Amino acid sequence: MLKVGFIGLGMGRAHMKGAAAHADAKVVACCDIVEERRKNKDGVDVAEEFPGCAFYTDYKEMIAKEELDAVVIASPDQLHREMCEYCLNAGLHVLCEKPLALTEEDCLAIVAAAEKSDKKFMVGQICRYTPGFVGAKKLIKEGRIGELTFVESEYAHDYDHMFKANAGKEYWRNDPLRNGVVGGGCHAIDLLRWIAGDIEEVCALSVKKTLTYLPYDDTHVGIMKIKGGIIGKVFVSISCKRNYTMRSVFYGTKGTIITDNTSDHFTLFYTDDEGKLQTETVPVDINNHNATGEFADFYKTIAEDLPVSTPAIEGCKTVQAALAIVKSAELGGVPVKL
């Protein structure tokens, strides 16, 4: 049994459910500085929802008192570095939420701590477990759409309700470092990196017309040079008046894939042996936040001593690209090399 502790009970709860669904993992303890967070939205205590789970308000006390093998860090992004370093030094395997951290310096510190440790460190880029994206990556790898030419992804969300619910409070998402590109757009950027490859250069523009109270722009478009001569584009907005989506399109020399994170299918266009364009609808499960799949991968990596599928350096490169988009937009679209 892998004994796991959880830090931060927002997204942390999804991870607890993901671990609880695993036959060989045990949700041993969790922690949140806000005592009330020990109860879920229906008022059920963690000890009841996850039988035997202890609750702490101090993660260091949790680590000292419980015999843990691993932790899942789902705290505000600003705390990731401190917590990752502490947990790795304490000899624990770590799964840390995206974005790895908010600055390049903090990301590199986590990469160094993970490399120094003999424990597994994984950054939770959960879209790598979303069925529509997993299916697209598989077909692209098999060559079904030929060589990639242009790839695009969007992170279209509306954070207005979150900011309004936290109005007047000190809220970690208000930190200018925690802008929409690094915070949420990292999903779309990471998806392009995972499927198409490393980003070499970006230029970007941004605007703020909707969430005018924010200390940063709410809408960004970034154009990228991707390794191997591929062009990329991300659209990131945290003020979209539409349903949440990560609609993504992968154009290749022989076909195209149109996919997203919330549909029960994706569309494959491909050129058949006679050179005719065919269309196929590929059914997929809807599983936007596949915390169960992500935890299962984390578990397997530890149990079978495998290389980590999304090591710290992957999270770091994604944040570096996000920071380059923000910087380019601040400079009015000047290209920024990575």
Ligand X SMILES: NC(=O)c1ccc[n+]([C@@H]2O[C@H](COP(=O)([O-])OP(=O)(O)OC[C@H]3O[C@@H](n4cnc5c(N)ncnc54)[C@H](O)[C@@H]3O)[C@@H](O)[C@H]2O)c1
Which CB sits closer to ligand X, 123 or 268?
Answer: 123
Residue in 39, 225, 265, 289 binding ligand X, rule: CB under 6 A = 289
Sheet with 336-337, edge to edge strand ranges:
277-283, 265-271, 255-259, 248-252, 148-156, 230-237, 219-226, 199-207, 336-337
Which CB sits closer to ligand X, 16 or 257?
Answer: 16
DSSP, collapsed to helix, strand or coil, labels residue 253 as: coil
Min dist. Cβ of residue 336 to ligand X (A): 23
Among 30-38, 151-159, 191-199, 308-316, the segment contacting ligand X (CB under 6 A): 30-38
DSSP, collapsed to helix, strand or coil, labels residue 264 as: coil
Residue nearest to ligand X (CB): 10
Which CB sits closer to ligand X, 223 or 322?
Answer: 322
Q: Which of 87, 98, 97, 81 is nearest to 120 (CA)?
A: 87
Which CB sits closer to ligand X, 63 or 139?
Answer: 63
Tokens of 11: 């997204």
Q: Is residue 51 part of the contact set for ligand X (CB under 6 A)?
A: no
Give the C-alpha separation, 12 to 4, whole Å: 12
Count interface residues toward ligand X (CB under 6 A).
Answer: 22
Which CB sits closer to ligand X, 117 or 130?
Answer: 130
Residue in 8, 131, 222, 252 binding ligand X, rule: CB under 6 A = 8
Min dist. Cβ of residue 305 to ligand X (A): 26
Residue for token pair 């830090």: 7
Q: Is residue 11 part of the contact set for ligand X (CB under 6 A)?
A: yes
Q: Is residue 60 part of the contact set for ligand X (CB under 6 A)?
A: no
Q: For residue 234, which phi and psi values (nearest 5 degrees)?
A: -120, 140
**Largest distance between two CA atoms of the chain:** 67
Which residues make up the interface to ligand X (CB under 6 A)? 7-11, 31-34, 37, 59, 74-77, 79, 97-98, 124, 126, 183, 289
